[in-house]
Amino acid sequence: MPTTHLLYLHGFRSSPRSTKAQLVRQRIETRHPGVTLWCPQLPPSPREAMAQVMEGIAGWPRERMAVIGSSLGGFYATWVAEQTGCRAALLNPAVAPARDLAKYIGEQGSWHDPEEKFFFRPEYVDELRALQGPAITRPERYYALIAKGDEVLDWREMRARYPAARIHLLEGSDHAISEFADYLDEVLAFVGLATT
């Protein structure tokens, strides 16, 4: 079934203003204007973030929806896919955020506007741990674009988290996947939005 609803989940300290989110938005608006795209600004609390997402997609048709997630958003996208059974495209997905983000407890600035501050609380680490599921089910629902040159996350951990999923391993690149525009068609095709 063709995808009619697409969710995009941004990463830690990121926002709907990220380059990848904007590229996805522009492509959907120009080539798939009938598709509902939602890229919410996620609150710092993982529990609140996922509650907001599940409330926002409550009326979406599960068989016609998909999710794209970047970094921490990839971790969240995996959780959403496991809850809903939808397809998920992951961009350098965080696989152990409870471990990795524990060192960021305290005040943080937004990547796109350092004047925007939020506080990452110790209990958020526990909330991340609560969202950490066991091995993924139905790996055919997952696609992961993973950069060996990621300076934040270990590509080996990312690949190992998604065994039997469709993996596109980039030899270089970086955490932001700066050349994401080159892979956008591939990502959208996987989630049911082939180039027209």
How do residues 26-73 score in pLDDT, each as one tens digit? 999 999 999 999 999 999 999 999 999 999 999 999 999 999 999 999
How do residues 133-152 score in pLDDT, each as one tens digit? 889 999 999 999 999 999 99
Q: In whole angstroms, what is the distance from residue 57 CA to residue 5 CA? A: 9
- On the question of pLDDT at 18 being above 70, the answer is yes
- On the question of pLDDT at 90 being above 60, the answer is yes
Domains delineated in the chain: 5-190 (3.40.50.1820)
To the nearest whole number, what is the mean pLDDT of the chain? 95
Q: In whole angstroms, what is the distance from residue 101 CA to residue 91 CA? A: 18
Q: Give, as one character, the DSSP assignment of residue 72.
A: H
Model's pTM, two decimal places?
0.96
